[in-house]
Amino acid sequence: MNIELEAYSKEIGILIRMNRIKKGYSLRQFADLAMISHTHISNIEIGKIVPNINTIKELFKILDIDFTLDKEISKEFHELFNKLYMFCYKAEFNEAKAIIKQIVLNKSKYEYSTFSVDYKLTLIAYDIFTNSSSYNVDFLLDQLENVFFSLNSSQQQLFHFFKGVNHYNKREAKLAIDNLLLALDFGGKNITKLGIKFYLAKSYSRMNNSYKSITLFKEAAAGFDSDANYARSIECMLGQAIDFSRMRRFDEAYKLYMSVMTFAKKYKDKKLENDTLLYLTSFYIRKNDYDSALDCINNCVPRMSERYYFYKVYTHYKREEYDLCFNYINSFLDLDQVHDNIRLVYLLEVLRYQIKPRKNLVESYEEKLIFLIKQAEKSHYYELLEMSYGFYIDFLRSKRNYKKALEYATKLLDKFQDINY
């Protein structure tokens, strides 16, 4: 192993610390195995001292690390990393998939190298931006958090950015915002800042903070347009439409929805067209225009989507087509994929009870409503929040528990007032 130790002392230290913790060794345990002081190990891990070649070999041997150092391999990897990041930035996920396959195929060259941190960031980036669940993102983020203060500023920014997106994907909007704001403080490259603002906008939208989300969506859209990144710009337009709809600024929302739909049809983007129809269904439900809502949901391609099943039955419920709604609920509850989503199961069962109450199910009905309220509050799921609170308030009134009904009605009003008009 012919290396310039001093030039790579920090990277070697990071590699040792990450893999020591991964193996489950404490600092003292690892020092005992290596037969050197734990202070010496600690100084190596933070890059404070440069160990000799024999010490490095011994430490890598204990950790089962087959260390790679090759400037050509490093150049090759970073070219792939930049390509993958750009494809994710432009939402060109098929191209990103081809790159990640190439990277993983050469895992043995990349994993235990001076750019091991960037290798982990690459796996995380692909997973969070494509929602592929291909890699254990939480584990990889934990590994990087253990060496956070040894990372360079660019890596620290990406760590907070990716951690924020990971929280967003898990519907943990508040934690997403906390990390994305930290990432934004680093400044950095324009495409990174645009990506952060985009996910900040989505997270604020999920928190029902429509004023902030619309402002950020507009800023991000302007940046995406200047980069000719029209796919992301259209996502920003869709985000604004959703927020304007939530704020009951229906004319502005409708214009944006129509622009998105025009784009989807022009470029034959069936997924975007389907997603827009789903959001338009929600839009018309809010306007109490259930005929238009039904037209939209009937034109959607059926797929495993909680919102699809919910809007399908809820639209018929609002149209007072209770028998049809009841039949749809029963047919959906027969589907195996529906039972993978306990929230959707409870949602359908609550609606079924609402149509045909049964005395022996009163207790479970109340429990399921409370569960749905908690889920809606946690995920900031507006339509579910409105429905579950409304049903529960009606339920409490039917039990003559007016005090508790008033308490929940006040809470619901407070939730709606959190939306920025």
Alpha carbons within 13 angstroms on the beta-carbon side of residue 284 total 22
How far apart CA 287 and CA 242 sit, in angstroms, is 13
The domain made up of 5-62 has a fold known as: 434 Repressor (Amino-terminal Domain) (1.10.260)
Chunked in runs of 10, what are the mean pLDDT values of the chain (421 residues)? 65 88 90 89 84 84 83 89 93 93 89 88 95 88 92 95 96 94 90 95 91 96 94 96 93 98 94 94 93 95 84 93 94 88 92 88 91 82 84 93 94 70 40
> Which residues have C-beta within 8 Å of that of residue 280, sequence separation ≥ 6?
257, 261, 292, 296
The structure's pTM equals 0.85
Structure-token match 């959190």, residue found: 418
368 neighbors 384 (Cβ within 8 angstroms): no
* Contacts of residue 63, Cβ cutoff 8 Å, sequence gap at least 6: 16, 19, 20, 23
- Answer yes or no: CATH 1.25.40.10 is held by domain 71-188: yes
Closest CA to 185 of 204, 215, 157: 157
- Interatomic CA distance for residues 301 and 386, integer angstroms: 25
Instruction: Give the pLDDT score at 194.
Output: 95
- Are residues 87 and 95 in contact, defined by beta-carbon separation less than 8 angstroms? yes
Domain boundaries, the chain: 5-62, 71-188, 321-421
Question: Partners of 63 in the beta sheet?
Answer: none
Closest CA to 84 of 66, 108, 65, 110: 110
Name the β-bridge partners of 113.
68
Alpha helix ranges (H) inside 170-229: 173-184, 190-206, 210-226
